[in-house]
Amino acid sequence: MDAEERAELHERLEQSFVHSELLHRMAPSEFQKPVRRMLSRCATSVALEHHSAVLKLIESGHFASAAAMLRPVMEAGAIAHWLLYAAPTERVQAMSQAPLEGARRDDDTPVLSVLIRELADALPSLPGLANLQEILRSPAGSWLNKYTHGGIPQLRRKGPDAQPFGLPDMILALIRADMFVLMACAAATVIYDVPELDAYVPYKRKALFDEMVEKFDLSIPFDEWAPLPKQILIDAWDEQE
């Protein structure tokens, strides 16, 4: 990148840092007693930290590593919602009792495709979810996975004749990371009374969508935001419910 491009990236990066600071402040730091809600808040914390990491990596010029972190941000957000609306009660119980390291596959969070499918079955009205399902089913939908696991989009950019990550790539990465962490924090509006966050989620979601459409000359429909249902799954085994 030349000096002008670096300045533009820095300006956009500052917007993401402000977004991160706002979300860290608005998302309640205390944990509620029921295991399902506690684990959902943990997933939101993971998303917030991963998002901060994306920003720091871009700031320091580690663009490939920043791209690799996009999927973990989105995945943590999906887990936060899955735990509230779709995770089977026996799985949540197993997760609450699993060891910190070495948990069996059935005692841990499922893979992203299963997360999205089960969440879509439980909460088909979640804005953007149907579109996300279609993207993940398409050949182009593997881009997140390829960035994270060192696929061709990563490898070829390191070659002697390849085009490295540039300004448009990193602007798009920031928009996506900002959107992913926003959706993760939306889960907090279900289990906490946070009017400020309730208002911020739809406002910022529309602003990010408009920015992406304008910046990359896209023609895609906007899925209006609707408040998330407050009714979540209840676990009879959890004495804190």
Rounded to two decimals, the pTM is 0.93
| pLDDT tens-digit map of 48-65 | 999 999 999 999 999 999
pLDDT digits (tens, 9 = 90+) for 110-156: 988 888 889 988 888 777 776 676 766 666 567 788 889 888 889 88
Q: What does the alpha-carbon distance between residue 120 and residue 173 come to, in Å, rounded to a whole number?
A: 25
Q: Judge contact between 66 and 173, C-beta under 8 A.
A: yes
Give Cα 37 to chain centroid, integer Å: 18
Closest CA to 114 of 79, 147, 143: 79
Residue 238 lies in a domain: no
Domain-embedded: residue 46: yes
Whether 37 is in a domain gets the answer yes
Q: Show the domain range for 60.
A: 3-215
In a domain? residue 228: no
Cβ partners under 8 Å of residue 234, min gap 6:
241
Q: pLDDT per residue over 36-50, tens digit each?
A: 999 999 999 999 999
- Joined together, the tokens standing for residue 199 give 């208002």
> Quick one: pLDDT at residue 112?
86
Quote the mean pLDDT of the chain: 91
In a domain, 241, yes or no: no
Q: Please choose, from the candidates 50, 119, 54, 107, the residue with its C-alpha nearest in 3D space to the C-alpha of residue 80.
A: 119
145 lies in some domain: yes
| pLDDT band per the 50, 70, 90 thresholds, residue 241 | low
Mean of pLDDT values over 160-176: 92
Quote the number of domains for the chain.
1
In a domain, 149, yes or no: yes
Find the mean pLDDT for residues 22-28: 96
